[in-house]
Structure 1
Amino acid sequence: MKVKLFWLIFSLLIFSLVYSDNSKYAGEFLRIPVGARALGMGGAFIAIANDGSSFYYNPAGVAISEDGLLSFMYSSHFGGIADPLASFFHFGFIKSVQKVGFALNWVRLSVDNIPNTPDFTNIETPIDRENLVKNYNGGSFFSDVEDAFYFSFSREFKFNINFGWSRYKVPVSLPVGINFKLVNQKLGFEKGTGFGFDAGVMFRFSMDDFLQRGNMGDVSISLVLKDIGKTRISWSTRREHFVESTLMFGISYTLPVNFINSKITFAYGSQNSYLTDKLYGIEYGYRDLLFVRFGKNIENLTIGAGLKVDFFIVDYVFLLHDLGPVHRVSGSLIIDKILKKL
């Protein structure tokens, strides 16, 4: 009954969005976090963004990610890994040419076997609507498939800053990047398409240089604006929805723990659109080989782990949700390292 009720409510929400003028939650699948490593840190990855999920958290990070990085991810939402209510995929590639980082990424959210329910939204009494949903026996089914293709361009600029009160200059790194994205949604017989872009910047420096002391760690401060000017999605029903712009801020601090060959990264992030989310994360890495992560995203706690062996990286995260557990597995292959071994 719980699953049945979920599907009925889900289908009503979808139709109320597509056939209404309220586009507050338009393109909501674009806000689903990408990458098991990032989500293991509660999504507080805006100031880190140096792996295959960099395009999502901060396109500037494409320039500082591994060159020739092929990334993939699978996520089961609200159910078991083999039989989820919804599935989320990601596939992408990063390559650097003439000091410019390029990335191509594809994300897809798919939901199958959604009951095609009558429109109960005109029923005035909430109790009557609830009874109609509970007693509905079902009928035909439809699917919801939502795709987004990201084309990212990024470059890292390096220079020195004289802070004035000191006689020394501090080397800093300033990666900047931009996403162009194509959105394609199919809900039953209805189709929606849209085009938008994001921009991001990072400000990175070493505390060793800033304080003139060793083993003080590294700092990164980032700012991202997603869906600049709002991303318009045009439906075959001749209606238009607009994805609200999102402002994201992040800061991270990585501290080396040399006596056990480890690093600890603390991260904070916030994102503001129609909601304001606070994101917190921590990652412990041993010899750049084994990783353990914890995070907090809105009201949910996350826990994750990772393994990096030469050219192969795999990450896993578990998120407990009211509608059921969410399992996410992502992996990467560093193609350039593989080619060098051949």
Structure 2
Amino acid sequence: MKHFFRTATLFFGAAGLLFSASTGAQAQDKTPKYSNEFLNIGVGARALGMGKVQVSLAQDATAGYWNPAGLLSQKAKYDAVLMHSELFSGIVKNDYAAFSMPLDDKSAIGISAVRVGVDDIADTRDLINEFGYIDYSKIRYFSVADYGVLLSYARKIGNVEGLKFGANAKVIYRNIGEFADAWGFGIDAGMQYDKGNWRLGLMARDITTTYNAWSINADELKPTPGAPLEEIPTNRTEITLPTFVLGVGRLVKLPGEFTALAAVDLEVTTDGQRNTLISSSAVSVDPRAGLEIGYKNVAYLRGGVSNVQQIQSFTGSEEWKVQPSLGVGVALSGLRLDVALSQLAIEKLGGRTQTNNIIVSLGYGIK
């Protein structure tokens, strides 16, 4: 146990150094926010059912997304995961696929692909012809989609039992129909340490800062006839500043072949002040918590809370809101089926309740 606390101190020390290094480099008051935010939605119904608490827990192909160091802990030789979810009543489609495998007893690799998009958007700029009549044949449709591909590598370094390291090289493509697109590249790095029933994790996303180079097709961005002229955007570079996630989890055996896995993550963003529980001009901290109750490693019940925000209601009063989530899972003969229900943490609009999101993922491991 003494060795565990020494390693835990190393984790927290490394996190502190990374946080201070990023904040020291940002003296300006205004920093870019929410770039490549589609990569922060989360993947896997197990993770989303637990409030996105996975940095210290991920142990299958989804580890390539949450923390690549976890690829070394997967139980199957080959593991694959597919996920589909729909946000905002089905308007936004979120799809994900991943595969991972070991190279030897000290290293593993994985590949992950994410697409988040809105399809069949109507372009009605030519709806009214030159004679002032409506011509529905002139309506065109386009999609807005973000793509991310992550190439992951994990390796055990040194002789410390339970200590693992991993990294991602990620390629990003963002597309707005024929109007604009962007290419980006970034690097993530992560660590995990397991000792008995304790698990620690540290993930640094966009550790080198990720750059997206946008290319604008000005010829396609013609204004609507009769509408006020608007400035057409020009080519530019969008940057994503580092984000750090520190997590700790513990597995507890319960009577009757039940288990309980509880975990907490702290996500620290370095892009200035956000609407989070702990917020400052330098960094913002968003805590998350999750719990998984298992029975015979076959059936699972999950719950979590995340996205703590202060919301102003229509009456003008301010109150704290959280995003709750629930999930269930079944694992049989290498096949895993997980379903999660997540609720957007937004205020009621017009007396209507906020939208529920259903996430379904399927995983399969081959020994």
Category of TM-score, reference length = shorter chain: 0.7 to 0.9
Q: CA deviation at 1:113?
A: 3.0
Pick from 343, 349, 362: which aligns with 1:320? 343
Quote the residue 1:262 is aligned against. Answer: 258
Secondary structure (helix, strand or coil) at the match of 1:38 reads helix
Q: Distance in 1 between matches of 2:124 and 2:267?
A: 35
Pick from 71, 75, 87: which aligns with 2:85? 75
Quote the residue 1:96 is aligned against. Answer: 102
Pick from 268, 273, 293: which aligns with 2:302? 293
Secondary structure (helix, strand or coil) at the match of 1:284 reads strand
Q: Distance in 2 between matches of 1:327 and 1:266?
A: 22
Q: Distance in 1 between matches of 2:259 and 2:159?
A: 26
1:220 and 2:210 aligned: no
- Residues 57-87 of structure 1: CA distance to partner in whole angstroms, max 9, x if unpaired? 11110111232001100011111xxxx1010
Quote the residue 1:196 is aligned against. Answer: 186
AA of the residue aligned to 1:95: M
Number of residues paired by the alignment?
A: 270
Pick from 339, 360, 363: which aligns with 1:329? 360
Unaligned runs of 5+ in 2: 1-29, 126-138, 217-234, 275-284, 308-321, 347-353
- Residues 229-271 of structure 1: CA distance to partner in whole angstroms, max 9, x if unpaired? 21000011321001121011000000112x3112101100011
AA of the residue aligned to 1:185: R
1:302 and 2:325 aligned: yes
Question: 5 Å matches for 1:1-342?
Answer: 23-65=32-74, 66-79=76-89, 84-99=90-105, 100-116=107-123, 141-157=141-157, 159=159, 172-189=161-178, 190-206=180-196, 218-237=197-216, 238-257=235-254, 259-273=255-269, 274=271, 275=274, 276-298=285-307, 299-321=322-344, 322=346, 324-334=355-365, 336-337=366-367
> Does the 8 Å contact 1:279/1:297 carry over to 2?
yes
Q: CA deviation at 1:46?
A: 0.9
Secondary structure (helix, strand or coil) at the match of 2:38 reads helix
Secondary structure (helix, strand or coil) at the match of 1:260 reads coil
Q: Distance in 2 between matches of 1:231 and 1:36?
A: 27
- Residues 128-186 of structure 1: CA distance to partner in whole angstroms, max 9, x if unpaired? xxxxxxxxxxx7543111110010000235746xxxxxxxxxxx400110001000111
Q: CA deviation at 1:116?
A: 4.9
Secondary structure (helix, strand or coil) at the match of 2:54 reads coil
> Does the 8 Å contact 1:40/1:294 carry over to 2?
yes
State the TM-score, normalized to the length of structure 2. 0.70
Secondary structure (helix, strand or coil) at the match of 1:39 reads helix
Q: Distance in 2 between matches of 1:329 and 1:260?
A: 29
> Does the 8 Å contact 2:65/2:112 carry over to 1?
no
Q: Distance in 1 between matches of 2:57 and 2:170?
A: 21
Q: Distance in 2 between matches of 1:296 and 1:103?
A: 28
Q: Distance in 2 between matches of 1:260 and 1:62?
A: 30
> Does the 8 Å contact 2:341/2:359 carry over to 1?
yes
Q: CA deviation at 1:23?
A: 4.3
Secondary structure (helix, strand or coil) at the match of 2:33 reads coil
> Does the 8 Å contact 1:159/1:173 carry over to 2?
no
Higher relative contact order (CA 8 A, sep 6+): 1
State the TM-score, normalized to the length of structure 1. 0.75
Cα 1:228–1:116 change in 2 (3 A) is farther
Q: Distance in 2 between matches of 1:78 and 1:37?
A: 20
> Does the 8 Å contact 2:294/2:301 carry over to 1?
yes
Secondary structure (helix, strand or coil) at the match of 1:33 reads coil
Secondary structure (helix, strand or coil) at the match of 2:57 reads coil
Secondary structure (helix, strand or coil) at the match of 2:262 reads strand
> Does the 8 Å contact 2:97/2:112 carry over to 1?
yes
Secondary structure (helix, strand or coil) at the match of 2:208 reads coil
Q: Distance in 2 between matches of 1:107 and 1:229?
A: 21
- Residues 168-205 of structure 1: CA distance to partner in whole angstroms, max 9, x if unpaired? xxxx4001100010001111221100111100001210
Q: CA RMSD in A?
A: 2.0
Q: CA deviation at 1:117?
A: 8.2
